[in-house]
Amino acid sequence: MYNPTIEGEGGEFKDEVFYEPVNIEPRFSDPKSTIDPDKTKNWFWRVLPILMSNKWPLLGGLFLMVFTMILGVSIPALMGMLVDSIEPAIINSDPKVFFQLIILIVFLSVIRLIGGTIGSYQIGKASNQLEADLRSVIYNHFFTLSFSFFDKTQTGQLISRANSDIKTIQMFLMIAPMLMTSLLSFVFAAIYMLSVHVFLALSSMIAIPLVFALSVKLRQLTFPLSWLTQARQADVAVIVDENINGQRIIKSFAQELMQVNLLAKAAKKLQWVQVRSVDVSAFYNPLIENLSVLGSVFVWVYGGWLVIEGELALGSLVAFNMYLMMIQMPFRFLGWMLMLEQRAKASAGRIFEILDEKSELLQDKDQVNIKHMKGHISFKNVSFSYADELILKDLSFDIEANETVAIVGQTGSGKSTIIRLLSRFYDCDEGGIEIDGINIQDLSIKNLHHHIAQVLDEPFLFSVSIKDNIAYGKPDATDEEVIQAAKAAEAHEFIQETSDGYYTVVGERGYTLSGGQRQRLGIARALLVNPSILVLDDATSAIDVNIESKIHESLTRLLNKRTTILIAHRLSTINLADRVIVLDEGKIIASGKHEELLNSVSRYSEILSQQAIKNDNESQDNNETDEQQRKRISDLLNQDSDAFKGGFSE
C-alpha cells in the first residue's frame, strides 16, 4: 500500500500507505510440474503430474476419506448389534452391552466427523492448488507462443479457457473422491450383505445393471453437449470483451442495438445447448436415482418375511437397510458425476488445444546471452509474408552501432514488420537478421527483448500508477530515475498536474489520458530501461508540435548513446536521423541523408507529402489548431525547395 506525493522540483517521494504497487515480489513460484505431453493419454492422466506435485495434501485427504468410509461401513453393523441387544435385555440380559454399543457408535461418529472434515479440506486444498497451477501453466505458456498464435485466436476464447474451463476441472477433481469413497463403501457393504444372506443381497442389487446402462448412455449424450456449452460460453465472452474494449467505436457509430442483438444471438445459442443438457439430465438422472429404490422394496418385503420366519435377525435387517443406502449412494451421485466428468473432459480438451500449441519461434538449447550489446544491425536477404501476402521482399540493409536511422514509407510498406522481425515477434521466411554479428535466432528471446525497447504509436498502459507504468521495464528503478525519464519525455509537468502525481492510477489501457500523454509515458518507459537499441514507431504522432520539439531536444542528447530506429512520418522526427531508408512495397528504393533524398528521389518527396495530408485528416487527437494544421501542410506542399529541404532544423 503506497501513496507518495511529490515535493519540490527535485521530485522526491513521500511514502504513505495507500495501495500496493505492481512491482512487488511474486508471492507464488512457478508450478512444480506441467501436463503430460503425450496426447494419446486420457485427460486425467495428462493432468495428473500437476495434481501430484501437491501430492501430500491429496494423499492425506484421500487417506482420511477412506479411513472415515471404513468407520462409516462399520456403524450399520454396530447398529444391527444394538437392535439385537434390546430383545435379550428384556430377558435379564446385561444392559452394559447396550450402553457400550451406544458409546462406541457415538465415538466412531465423532472420529468420522473430524476425519471427514480434515480430509475434505485437504482434498479441496489440493484441487484448488491444481487450479492455480494449471492457470499458471497456461499463463506461462502464453508467453512462449509466437504472435501469429494471438493473431488468429480471440482474446475471449483464451480468457474462457484460462478461467471457466479450469474451474470445471477443479470442481470435478474436488468432488470425484466422494464418488470414489462411495464406490468403496459399496464394495464393503456388498460383502457384508452377501455374508448375511446371499439371495436378499442379490435382490437388493437388481437395478444395478440397468442403472449402469443408463449411466453409459448419459455419458455419451453429455460429452458433446458439454464441449458445445464451453465453446459457446467462450463465444459470449468474446463478444463481451469486444463490446467493453470497443465501446468508444460502438457509441461513435451508434451501433449499441446491433451489439446487444449480437450478444443476444450468442446467448440464445448458449441457452439452447444448456436447455438441451438440462433435458438430458432431467430424463436420465431421476431414472438412475429412483431405479435404486427397487432394491429397497425387495429388502423390506423379502427381508421382513425372513424376520417373521425367524431366518433373519431384526438387527441384521436394520443393518441391511442401512447398507442398502450406502449401495444406493454412488448411483444417486453417478449421473451428476458423469455429467461433471464429461464437462471436465471437454474443458481439458480445450485447455490442451492451447498447451499443445507449439511456438513458431524455434529456440536452440545452447542460446547466446549478450551482456553488453553494441547494436550493429544487419538484415540479409529477408523475406516475410503474413499468411499468403508477401510483405518484405529480399530486404538487405545495415545499421551501424549508435546510428539513428529513419525508415520512411507509406502505410503497408512493411516498416512495422521490420521491427517485429528484429524483435523476433515473428521469424522471417527467408534470409537472416544479425545483431553484432550474431543471428537473432541464436539469441535468447528474453535477452534479445532486454536490449530492444519499443515505443509504439499507441502505447499500452496498465491500470496501475503512472510511476509503475514508467518503471514497468525496470521495477527496481529509483524515484529519481523515474522522474528523469519522465522529464526527458516531457511528461513530468502534466504528471504533476494529475490528482496524485506519479501515483495517479490510470484507467484501463490508459484511456484517462490523452493520446499524446500516453505516448510521452511510453517514451519515458523506454528511456528508463536504457536499451542498446531504441525503436520509436511513430511515437510522437499524437503529441503537440511544440512539446514534440522539446522531446526531440532531449532525444538528440540521448540517441547518440544507442542504435535508434525511427518509423517516421513527420519531418521533425526524420530530421533526428543520421540516415533515411525509404521503403516502398516491401523493398528499399533509396537510402541516404534527408536532404539528398529530397533532391534525388521523387518518390521520397511524394511519400512525405501524402503522409502530411493524411496526418492532417487524422489530427483530431493532435493539439494543433485547424489553422496550424493547414499552414503546416501548405508549407510542406507549396513552399520552395530550399524551405522544404531544410525540414524542421534545430
Please report the sign of the dihedral spanned by the C-alpha atoms of residue 559, residue 565, residue 570, residue 571: positive
Question: C-alpha grid cell for residue 451?
Answer: 536490449
pLDDT cut 70: percent of the chain above it = 85
φ, ψ of residue 211 in degrees (nearest 5)? -65, -40
Q: Which strand ranges, in their side-by-side order, compose the sheet holding 389-399?
A: 389-399, 377-386, 430-435, 438-439
- Of 45-54, 229-238, 469-478, 539-548, minimum mean pLDDT range: 539-548
Q: Tell me the per-residue pLDDT of 45-87, one tens digit each, with 9 for 90 and over.
A: 999 999 888 889 989 999 999 999 888 888 888 888 888 777 6
Residue with the larger pLDDT of the pair 453 and 95: 453
pLDDT value of residue 60: 92
Helix (H, G, I), strand (E, B) or coil at 592: strand
pLDDT value of residue 114: 94
Looking at the domain covering 377-646, what would its CATH class be?
alpha beta
- Of 101-110, 400-409, 432-441, 598-607, minimum mean pLDDT range: 598-607
C-alpha span between 126 and 394 (Å, rounded): 55
Q: With beta carbons less than 8 A apart as the criterion, state whether 303 and 312 touch.
A: yes
Q: Tell me the per-residue pLDDT of 303-330, one tens digit each, with 9 for 90 and over.
A: 888 888 888 888 888 888 888 778 777 7
Q: Cell 473432459 belongs to which residue?
A: 345
- Of 391-405, 482-496, 537-551, 566-580, minimum mean pLDDT range: 537-551
Please name the residues in contact with 225: beta carbons below 8 A apart, sequence gap of 6 or more.
Answer: 273, 276, 277, 280
Q: Outline which parts of the chain fall under CATH 1.20.1560.10.
A: 43-355
Residue with the larger pLDDT of the pair 406 and 635: 406
C-alpha span between 19 and 35 (Å, rounded): 36
Question: C-alpha grid cell for residue 521?
Answer: 509515458
Max alpha carbon distance in the chain (Å)? 128
Helix (H, G, I), strand (E, B) or coil at 356: coil
The answer, yes or no, to whether residue 383 has pLDDT greater than 90, is: yes
Question: Strands 452-455, 533-537: parallel, antiparallel or unpaired by DSSP?
Answer: parallel
- Overall average pLDDT of the 257-262 stretch: 84
pLDDT band with cut points at 50, 70 and 90 for residue 364: low
pTM: predicted TM-score of the whole model, two decimal places: 0.66
Q: Outline which parts of the chain fall under CATH 3.40.50.300.
A: 377-646
The answer, yes or no, to whether residue 648 has pLDDT greater than 50, is: no
Q: With beta carbons less than 8 A apart as the criterion, state whether 339 and 226 touch.
A: yes
Partners of residue 221 on adjacent β-strands: none
pLDDT value of residue 302: 84
Nearest to 306 by CA among 198, 438, 417: 198
C-alpha span between 44 and 49 (Å, rounded): 9
What letters, b where the CB count within 10 A reaches 16 and e where it falls short, cover 571-590?
A: bbbbbbbbbbbbbbebebbb
Q: Where are the beta strands (DSSP E) in 251-388?
A: 377-386
The answer, yes or no, to whether residue 118 has pLDDT greater than 90, is: yes
Q: Quickly name the fold that domain 43-355 has.
A: ABC transporter transmembrane region fold (1.20.1560)
Q: Which amino acid is at 462?
A: F
The answer, yes or no, to whether residue 625 has pLDDT greater than 80, is: no
C-alpha span between 377 and 433 (Å, rounded): 7
pLDDT value of residue 512: 75
- Overall average pLDDT of the 523-551 stretch: 81
Q: Tell me the per-residue pLDDT of 540-572, one tens digit each, with 9 for 90 and over.
A: 766 777 777 777 777 777 777 789 898 877 777
Under DSSP, the state recorded for 263 is H
C-alpha span between 395 and 588 (Å, rounded): 7
Angle at 84 between CA 80 and CA 85, to 5 degrees: 115
φ/ψ bin of 377: left (φ > 0), alpha (ψ from -120 to 50), beta (otherwise): beta
pLDDT band with cut points at 50, 70 and 90 for residue 113: very high
Nearest to 538 by CA among 458, 424, 472: 458
Residue with the larger pLDDT of the pair 387 and 485: 485
C-alpha span between 407 and 83 (Å, rounded): 94
pLDDT value of residue 258: 83
pLDDT value of residue 617: 52
Q: Tell me the per-residue pLDDT of 181-222, one tens digit each, with 9 for 90 and over.
A: 888 888 888 888 888 888 888 877 777 778 778 877 877 788
